[in-house]
Chain A
Amino acid sequence: DADVTQTPRNRITKTGKRIMLECSQTKGHDRMYWYRQDPGLGLRLIYYSFDVKDINKGEISDGYSVSRQAQAKFSLSLESAIPNQTALYFCATSPGGTGVEKLFFGSGTQLSVL
């Protein structure tokens, strides 16, 4: 089983709909992240969480919200989806503490907003 699991793998939705992307991990890591990947733009950080009570905005948080339900679960919501939120979304984890972060990624969720 994957250490970082994202559901669903693919989702097609319509403009204005509320969407939730889920991420769970079995690595026991404290830190979790949501990134989006767009062709030609690389990965951009949406939100990150250092523990259940700590949520931080990344560089492109507008239009998104997150919930850290438990150490192992971090979900990303689009309250009212719009077409330019069509992208590949990745959840990642890292162990935290001191030192440089090595990120462990899920397999991604391809979201299409029509």
Chain B
Amino acid sequence: AQKITQTQPGMFVQEKEAVTLDCTYDTSDPSYGLFWYKQPSSGEMIFLIYQGSYDQQNATEGRYSLNFQKARKSANLVISASQLGDSAMYFCAMREGPGGQGNLIFGKGTKLSVKP
């Protein structure tokens, strides 16, 4: 069974609109971390945002926010006011176990295209 599921292989969004990229995860460990990475066409992997399983509030980093619904085991990435430069692959990842331990498990990614 997949531990990280990204159900949207590709998505389109109009420039300046908000977009939500879905991510569901599967773990029985009470302590875990969730990450989002961006991979533009140039190929580098860029860390965007992190959410710990015990964090009470949803993480935010500028135009990025993480809609963390623990009971549903979902960690959706919300990008507000999309820009052309947001066109990229986006990967959700999970670390099982407490911080400082455990390796990352990645989803297969969602390709986001921002239309002018």
Partners in one complex: no
